[in-house]
Structure 1
Amino acid sequence: MSNLLNQTGHRLDADQEKPRFLISDLCAYLESYLDSDQVREVYRAYLFGAEAHSGQHRKTGEPYIYHPVAVARILAEMRMDHNCLMAAILHDVIEDTPTAKEQLAGTFGVEIAELVDGVSKLSKIDFQSQAEAQAASLRKMLLAMTKDIRVIMIKLADRLHNMRTLGVMRPEKARRIARETLDIYAPIANRLGINSVRLELEDLGFAAYWPMRYRALRQAVSESRGQHKELVANVEAALLNRLEQEGMDGHVYGRQKHLYSIYRKMQEKNITFSDVVDVFAFRIIVDRLDTCYRVLGAIHNLYKPMPGRFKDYIAIPKANGYQSLHTVLFGPQGIPIEIQIRTEEMDRLSESGIAAHWMYKSGDSGGIAMSTRASDWLQNLLEMQQGVGDSVEFLEHVKVDLFPDEVYVFTPRGRILVLPKGATVVDFAYTVHTDVGNTCVAARVDRRLVPLRTRLRNGQTVEIINAENATPSPAWLNYVVTGKARANIRAFLKNLQGQVAVDLGRRLLERELKRFQISLDALGEEKIQQVLEEYRLESQDDLLAEIALGNRMPLLIARRLTGEDLATPVETAGTPGAESAGGLSIKGTEGMVVSFANCCRPIPGDPVMGVFNPGKGIVIHRHGCRNLGEFNKQGHNWIEAQWESDIEAEFATEIRVEAGNRRGVLGTVAATISEQGSNIENVTSQERDGLFSTLVFVITVKDRVHLAKIMRSLRVIPSVLKISRQSI
């Protein structure tokens, strides 16, 4: 039977025309770059894998071992080392056969066993949902990748072959796998610079997830290519002719932009296919770096460049190490064409990415640079995972860092940092160092002071101003975009909330124990342990945090600890004001375990009480607030509170200003509030009729005295008719 060869070099059966991945073909290919001893080791791994998978078949009907051999062939085309190829052939034996990791280590060595284990899913752990299981397995794989990058190389090759054979899957499962490929694996391939793998994963994922859109777009591109076939040939000839006239050697390749990138551009810019201006692209490959810039000048003289569409990725490479000059020109008939200019080395690296570290080991500087950039990203992953809780949260942070739109900014010393599009000053600070981010208080962009939420643009120089005692703010989470920044801020706030909760819980419990004439320290360890076991808590700190968060009532815990019955002591007869000297003292710095009710917006000077809200801690209300309901009748659900005498924090409150409906009245009122040292958080306007309107301001004040000062200053404005504070 005759055999054919497809574009990927796989042998095709002439009758069935589908790839066959034979170990003999793989070994013959490996002999082109591996030693004979190494090829024999790969064959030994094949024999072990074939025996382990004996009797297993894929949904295509083929013996299962075809899949691992196909994965190894993909990696061989990247010229990966023999240990990586052996691990690829064995990558499913731990997960899908009785083979243990220890057995692999004894037969093939610890290195290969670790690689195989890194790719294996966490299948022996029970998870609450499919999403959690998926996230945990991906987290395990990504962390294994930080120790050995070959883990992700094997996983990408595994996913690529699975995508090539996705047609046999049920439609819903095929769509789930395609979505995961587009969300995770294609972006990882892009982040590691492996362009050839990324493009195929994206197009296969696109075809499986949106099959009708894929077919329609493919048809549109095919028709467009047919209409412009002569134009493409003419542009190629014109570019080559100009290179010859300038005495420069180079190769010109006309190519069609791949379908998924066209689709994404249509989605992001909300445009139709006819509005996509650069469907056709040309790549010019030259011998030396300086020739790239000479070619750029020559083609700009041939066709007019489109303003604002030139990018120099040679001087400032992408985060994954990609280098090239990009420009868009007005071609024949005014049709825009994209031109990429690069050296042969840059072209190889753009296709191979991190794989260049293995493909070109002869001191290739580009491959080393790619490896360094990948290592930096992996280090960020390590830092990120230390500050997050569950695997789903970690995966969300990773996704943020995987998408490629970038901004290039400079440190004061001229170092270039690459950030995602939309990154802020805080993102920059965390990219420099975690400690720089945690303690940043202000920044200068191009020597001008700017707010921390300022979004950065290409070419700006950013200087961070730090304060030793500064800490991250919860508000930062509203505008940071990098996974590292988000993970570190959340980690800090979780630790802060935990410590604040423990301290507050201790104060609340000590207050109740005082009524039983005993302190927490005086209680025996045995009594505390009994209560911990009863509530299934691990430590005393956990119990105190539960009290502060409102999940456990301090009075009930005090009774359990003291062994008292449920009869309420005289001092705790739920009357507001009882035992007020032992009430909760509010400083305004308790963090998230003490919050202030939006219904009445209490401020220092108001008589207040606290209500336990499970999961949220204590919510402070003004006395008489209509939303307190029956809490006054439930002594164990509320706590008397009072303000500290030296509070420096600011608190939000609401005022209503009724004014004549005249031009400029809102600006006058706002300016007056600002002059009194208050910040306006929100304002709404309600027009009662054509003559009068009601302005509702949410402002920050220090206390009742500060509020009274603001209200007095507003009363003297001629247009203001009435001022009142939010009612309770």
Structure 2
Amino acid sequence: MIDVEDLVSLVRNYNPRCDAGLIRRAYDYGERMHQGQNRRSGEPYFTHPVAVAAILTEQALDDATIITALLHDVIEDTKSTYAEIAAMFGREVAELVDGVTKLTNLQLNSTETKQAENFRKLFMAMSKDLRVILVKLADRLHNMRTIRAMAPEKQAQKARETMEIFAPLAGRMGMQWMREELEDLAFRVLNPDARNSIIRRFILLQRETGDVIHKITNDIRIELDKAGIDADVFGRAKKPYSIWRKMQEKSQSFSRLSDIYGFRIITHNQADCYRVLGVIHERWTAVPGRFKDYISQAKSNGYRSIHTTVSGRDGKRVEVQIRTRQMHDVAEAGVAAHWSYRDGVRSENPFAVDPAKWIASLTERFETDEDHEDFLEAVKLEMYQDQVFCFTPKGDVVKLPRGATPLDYAYSIHTRIGHSCAGAKVDGIRVPLWTRLKNGQSVEIITAEGQTPQASWIDIVVTGRAKAAIRRSLREENRERFVKLGAELARLAFERIGKKATDKALATAARQMGLASGQELLARIGSAETTTGEVIRSLYPELTRTEDRLEPVRSVIGLPADQGFTRARCCRPVPGERIVGITYRGQGVVTHAIDCEALAEYEDQPGRWVDLHWAEGMHPPIHSVGLDLTIANDTGVLGRICTLIAEQKANISDLRFIDRKPDFYRLLVDVDLRDVEHLHAVLLALEADSDVAAIERHRDPSLRPQAGGPPVAEAATGRLEPAQGQG
């Protein structure tokens, strides 16, 4: 463990005026609070906060951030309090420690809705003080460096979370070195065989070609000396995960990858950057389409550099990055460069981004009360996507994620422009709205009065902002229709359990489900975003549990009195159909329709087959069956379909849209039925409707039970549960 004087020395290296006494007090306080606590590796726990502080000194951060790193776990893991920290180290440090504690308690890899809400909290913490995230990233980096002491399943969970959340976040903040290390550490856990394979190929390549990095670095230095340019040159092989990702994206083997080496040239001024570029392109052949000038068009996190790829020694492609020392400092520290110190004073780096402005640009589109799904999608797009730079007709620059279309461009200008977009010109030529934009293109949007967003636009745009705006518009346009349909579905569901779908009941259910009003709940039911089953369960949990306790044993003949059964989800047989049972040792019997595809797997295991048939009149009254429907996308059609099903005394338990097009919908409807005759009656009524283009029973072979394993099955009620008697 680094002792206190070594840590103070690390800080004094870049900030001789640091408050060494305060750092020492924080070190002593943290060590005392964590006394007796150990990490899983057996080391004293305080080795972790000290290591986090040391990581942050590499970014030359201020005293408050270093002290926060030393104390970042004391509120959560010891008897220390916010008030005590504020009294001893000041309110600024107390706020930072409290912010890190709250972030630690966020479960960012939980269910989608919860994850979206926690991402909101993450961005709120970032907006208050970005240093909270810097400490959290350093905390995660040290945890990943020492992850081998954890249980394998915990390693996998932390690695996935790192790969999906923390690594992209570090990249979005401009801390590319941290992103690469986090990705590679997670890669080592998630796919060690692939990582080891790449490392072995590297070693073999070095044996065959020698030290390529040293040779190319010397070649570049010779050319720069000839031109009289004073600059530093550094070379490196790319990280294993970066290479693996390229192999996956390009579907190429390691031997066919060319640009696996990267070189950085650090100059004294901006003019020399362009002089170096000329030298490089004069000496080596530039690869078309691989040139980017982030000096004239900087990234939003302050990143500036010239990127070019050339065919170097022996025809090997190498990537070259050219930038000044100040640009390099920002490239290494990203947004954190705002707090960096040099020679005892806050670094006045002209390229460092103001964190307040940066976070505002990142979060401004998340201020509205959007759906959880929209918010989560937008955040992940913001963190993951690289950017392209396009120009307005007036020459202004618009930054968009890679893969963006003219529609994304229109919505980035203004929601009103996006809604009224009727066409687009790229570099003066009319193009389809689904065209993927490229760097440097000039885009002009053609608008039309009366134009409104189309449902098909959702599949065209890639930005979270555009998707959210289109969904909002479509939801408002269809809201009245969805509310009417939702009201009918709710009425039928409530009548089935002997209740009424009153305004008060719907308002209560909406409140229970975190929605603004009963009308919002009806709109979500009508648009299939929420099921009536979820609504009933939110109001009457005891009643729904009672309904689940049926006695399926008496409904089939061919089983011992104490033997239970469940319906297979792959075929979901109903009374009146021929059925057969497959046994699972100690787990009951799963019933299949006689024509179920899954039965082929058991042909060589006759001892597991049980001859069964339904007992007439003894089966439970509810059996869920899936219907695959294609219907016209026209006013009132969906409502009429639901009414037709209700008229046949069948209940809709779930409804999911598979495909939405301007002229038709395709959806899966789960219907609760009595038996096969009831099913035929429902199918006949729907087939007779002129707006039903196609209908068939939905069976999903992917849900078949795994031979020799626990059955994937459905109870007679339609709920997913293990075989009867399993508990």
- TM-score normalised by structure 1 residue count: 0.66
| Cα displacement (A) at 1:727 | 9.6
Q: Within the alignment, does 1:388 sit opposite 2:370 as a pair?
A: yes
Measured in 1, the distance between the counterparts of 2:111 and 2:643 equals: 42
Aligned match of 1:615: none
Q: Structure 1 residues 371 and 474, CA, compared in 2 at 3 Å: closer, same or farther?
A: farther
Q: Does structure 1 conserve the Cα–Cα contact (< 8 Å) formed by 2:338 and 2:347?
A: no
Aligned match of 1:363: 348
- Report sequence identity in percent: 40
Q: Does structure 2 conserve the Cα–Cα contact (< 8 Å) formed by 1:387 and 1:488?
A: no
Aligned match of 2:285: 304
Q: Does structure 2 conserve the Cα–Cα contact (< 8 Å) formed by 1:331 and 1:337?
A: yes
Q: Within the alignment, does 1:147 sit opposite 2:128 as a pair?
A: yes
Map residues 566-605 of structure 1 onto 2, 5 A cutoff. Answer: 601=632
Map residues 533-544 of structure 1 onto 2, 5 A cutoff. Answer: 541=519
Q: Does structure 1 conserve the Cα–Cα contact (< 8 Å) formed by 2:263 and 2:320?
A: yes
Aligned match of 1:409: 390
Q: Structure 1 residues 497 and 114, CA, compared in 2 at 3 Å: closer, same or farther?
A: farther
Q: Within the alignment, does 1:464 sit opposite 2:426 as a pair?
A: no
Structure with the bigger RCO (C-alpha within 8 Å, sep 6+) is 2
Aligned match of 2:587: none
| Cα displacement (A) at 1:128 | 12
Measured in 1, the distance between the counterparts of 2:694 and 2:380 equals: 46
Aligned match of 1:260: 241
Q: Does structure 2 conserve the Cα–Cα contact (< 8 Å) formed by 1:146 and 1:379?
A: no
2:147 aligned to 154, 166, 179, which one? Answer: 166
| Cα displacement (A) at 1:629 | 6.4
The aligned amino acid for 2:389 is Y
Q: Structure 1 residues 231 and 546, CA, compared in 2 at 3 Å: closer, same or farther?
A: closer
Q: Structure 1 residues 546 and 475, CA, compared in 2 at 3 Å: closer, same or farther?
A: closer
| Cα displacement (A) at 1:268 | 0.7
Aligned match of 1:334: 315
Measured in 2, the distance between the counterparts of 1:532 and 1:300 equals: 68
2:96 aligned to 115, 123, 127, which one? Answer: 115
Q: Within the alignment, does 1:275 sit opposite 2:253 as a pair?
A: no
Map residues 214-253 of structure 1 onto 2, 5 A cutoff. Answer: 214-229=195-210, 231-253=212-234
RMSD of Structure 2 on Structure 1 (CA)? 4.3
Point out where structure 2 has 5 or more consecutive residues left out of the alignment: 492-501, 534-627, 653-660, 667-689, 696-727
1:40 aligned to 21, 24, 35, which one? Answer: 21
The aligned amino acid for 1:388 is E
Q: Within the alignment, does 1:69 sit opposite 2:50 as a pair?
A: yes
In the alignment of these two chains, the number of paired residues is 556
Measured in 2, the distance between the counterparts of 1:117 and 1:144 equals: 10
Task: State the SS of the aligned residue for 1:240.
Answer: helix
| Cα displacement (A) at 1:153 | 0.7
Q: Within the alignment, does 1:175 sit opposite 2:156 as a pair?
A: yes
Measured in 2, the distance between the counterparts of 1:540 and 1:628 equals: 21
Measured in 1, the distance between the counterparts of 2:425 and 2:486 equals: 41
Q: Does structure 2 conserve the Cα–Cα contact (< 8 Å) formed by 1:387 and 1:490?
A: no
The aligned amino acid for 2:206 is R
Which has the higher mean CA deviation after the structures are superposed, 407-416 or 457-466? 457-466
- TM-score normalised by structure 2 residue count: 0.66
Task: State the SS of the aligned residue for 2:640.
Answer: strand
Map residues 473-512 of structure 1 onto 2, 5 A cutoff. Answer: 473-494=454-475, 501-502=482-483
Q: Which has the larger radius of gyration?
A: 1
2:640 aligned to 620, 623, 639, which one? Answer: 620
Aligned match of 2:597: none
Task: State the SS of the aligned residue for 1:366.
Answer: coil
2:179 aligned to 195, 198, 212, which one? Answer: 198
Aligned match of 1:188: 169
Measured in 2, the distance between the counterparts of 1:295 and 1:114 equals: 46
Which has the higher mean CA deviation after the structures are superposed, 495-504 or 283-292? 495-504
The aligned amino acid for 1:620 is R
Q: Within the alignment, does 1:379 sit opposite 2:378 as a pair?
A: no
Q: Within the alignment, does 1:343 sit opposite 2:324 as a pair?
A: yes
Q: Structure 1 residues 603 and 81, CA, compared in 2 at 3 Å: closer, same or farther?
A: closer
Map residues 650-661 of structure 1 onto 2, 5 A cutoff. Answer: 652=663
1:82 aligned to 54, 59, 63, which one? Answer: 63
Q: Does structure 2 conserve the Cα–Cα contact (< 8 Å) formed by 1:283 and 1:339?
A: yes
Aligned match of 2:576: none
Task: State the SS of the aligned residue for 1:463.
Answer: strand
Q: Structure 1 residues 51 and 438, CA, compared in 2 at 3 Å: closer, same or farther?
A: farther
Measured in 2, the distance between the counterparts of 1:508 and 1:324 equals: 58
| Cα displacement (A) at 1:275 | 0.7
Measured in 1, the distance between the counterparts of 2:160 and 2:243 equals: 18
Measured in 1, the distance between the counterparts of 2:137 and 2:167 equals: 8
Q: Within the alignment, does 1:424 sit opposite 2:405 as a pair?
A: yes
Task: State the SS of the aligned residue for 2:639.
Answer: strand
Task: State the SS of the aligned residue for 1:151.
Answer: helix
Q: Does structure 2 conserve the Cα–Cα contact (< 8 Å) formed by 1:253 and 1:283?
A: yes
Point out where structure 1 has 5 or more consecutive residues left out of the alignment: 1-19, 511-526, 554-596, 611-617, 622-626, 638-649, 655-680, 682-706, 708-723
The aligned amino acid for 1:384 is F
Q: Structure 1 residues 428 and 547, CA, compared in 2 at 3 Å: closer, same or farther?
A: closer
Aligned match of 2:563: none
The aligned amino acid for 2:362 is N
Task: State the SS of the aligned residue for 1:386.
Answer: coil
Measured in 2, the distance between the counterparts of 1:66 and 1:86 equals: 14
Task: State the SS of the aligned residue for 2:319.
Answer: strand
Measured in 2, the distance between the counterparts of 1:725 and 1:134 equals: 38
Q: Structure 1 residues 32 and 535, CA, compared in 2 at 3 Å: closer, same or farther?
A: closer
Measured in 1, the distance between the counterparts of 2:314 and 2:100 equals: 52
The C-alpha deviation readout for 1:544-580, integer Å capped at 9, x for no partner, is 6588679789xxxxxxxxxxxxxxxxxxxxxxxxxxx
Task: State the SS of the aligned residue for 1:409.
Answer: strand
Task: State the SS of the aligned residue for 1:120.
Answer: helix
